[in-house]
Structure 1
C-alpha cells in the first residue's frame, strides 16, 4: 500500500514573546496538517523540534516553512538541513521564497541551490583569505600576538567553561549565555569551535 505524502510545517520564532500565528496561518493555508513548532534562536544548533521532525521524516513527505530563515540563520547550516531532508527522500518548500521547492524534479531549483552553495563556499574562502592577509600584515608590522581564549582550564574558570558548554548544548541562545556568564561573543565562539560545537 502506497504511503500518502504528508505536508509537514516547521515553525520557529526566536523568543517566547513572539507569536507564531502568522506562520501557522500561512502554512495551514498551504495544506499542512502536521506542525512542529519551537521558540528558540536560529543561531543555535540545538533545536529539539527540528531534530524530531528530521528524525520522523518519511519518503515523499514535504517540509514547509514560511521562509527559509525559519530553518536557520546560518547559510551553511541551512544547506546541511536541506541535504538531510533530501537524503530522506523528502522535499522542502518555502511559502515566501517560491523558488525553494525540492518536492519534485525541478532542474532550475537544483541549479539555484548549486549556485547558492557555491556562493557560500566562495564567501568562506574570501573571509579566510582576508584573515590570512591581515595576519601577515600584522606580523610584518610586529602587531600580531595571536588570539587567546579568556576562559582557561582549571579551578573556578574550568567550572565556568563547562557551564557555558552545557548551556549551549541545552539550546540556550548565544545572547543568553553571554549575559548569564559574562563572556564576550568572540571568546564564546572560539570556545564552541574548540569543542567542535560550531
Structure 2
C-alpha cells in the first residue's frame, strides 16, 4: 500500500501541491500535518508509522518533508529499512522499490555511519588532547568540606534539604548520593 505524508511548516501554507502529487502517484491514504520539520513530535507522522506495515511504501513530495537535518533523515531511513517499509521521494527521485533507489538509500546510510564515526573520532581526539593538557572533563567535584558540613546538618535533623542546599551550595542529588555511599559502607562493616 502506498501511504503519503504531506507537511508544511506553518498554518498559512497550503498542502495542496503535495497532496496532488501524492494522489497522482497512487497514495491510498495521506497523512497531513502543519508543523515544523525540526520538531520530533509530529503526531500525524507517528500515526502513519504506527499504521504502516512491512511492504508498504511511504511517499513524500520531498525528503525534507520527513526531516530537515541529514541526521534525522538517516534515522528515518534506517527505521523504515528495519521495518521493511519502502520510501519514495517524488521530487528527489528516490524510490527504494527499485535497485537504483535501494543503492541510493544505502549510500545515504553509509555516509551517515561514516559521519557518526568521524564525530566519535573527533570527540575522542579532543578528550585525549584535553587530558594531555591536564584538563579533565565533567562537572567539577564539590568541596569536601561543604559536603561534610551538609551531611552534619542533615544528621542533626533540624534542617530541610532545601535549607541545607542554601547554606552549603551542595545539591540535593550530591547530598543523597553521599548519604547512600555512607549507608552502603556501614552495611559492609
Structure 1 residue aligned with 2:122, among 123, 130, 141?
Answer: 130
Q: Is the 8 A contact 1:54 1:84 kept in 2?
A: no
Counterpart residue number, 1:21? 16
Alignment TM-score, normalising by the size of structure 2: 0.61
Question: 1:110, 1:129 → 2: CA distance?
Answer: 29
How far did 1:28 drift?
A: 2.6
Q: How many residues align?
A: 141
For residue 65 of structure 2, the aligned residue among 47, 63, 70 is 70
Cα drift, residue 71 of structure 1 = 1.1
Instruction: Find the aligned partners of 2:84 and 2:127 in 1 and give their Cα distance.
Output: 45
Point out which structure has higher relative CO (alpha carbons under 8 A, 6+ apart): 1
Alignment of 1:20-59 (within 5 A): 20-59=15-54
TM-score, normalised by the number of residues in structure 1: 0.58
- Separation in 1 of the partners of 2:95 and 2:17? 21
* C-alpha RMSD of the superposition: 2.8
Q: CA deviation at 1:8?
A: 1.9
Equivalence for 1:117:
109
Which structure has the highest helix share of the two? Answer: 2
CA–CA distance in 2 between the matches of 1:89 and 1:145? 45
> Residues 54-111 of structure 1: CA distance to partner in whole angstroms, max 9, x if unpaired?
111245432210111211234444344334445555422110111x2123xx333222
Q: Which runs of 5+ in 1 are unaligned?
A: 1-5, 149-153, 156-198
Larger Rg: 2
Superposition deviation, residue 17 in structure 1: 3.8
Report the alpha carbon displacement of residue 122 of structure 1 after superposing the two structures with TM. 0.8
Equivalence for 1:146: 137
Show the counterpart of 1:163. none
Measure the CA separation in 2 of the matches of 1:147 and 1:13.
Answer: 40
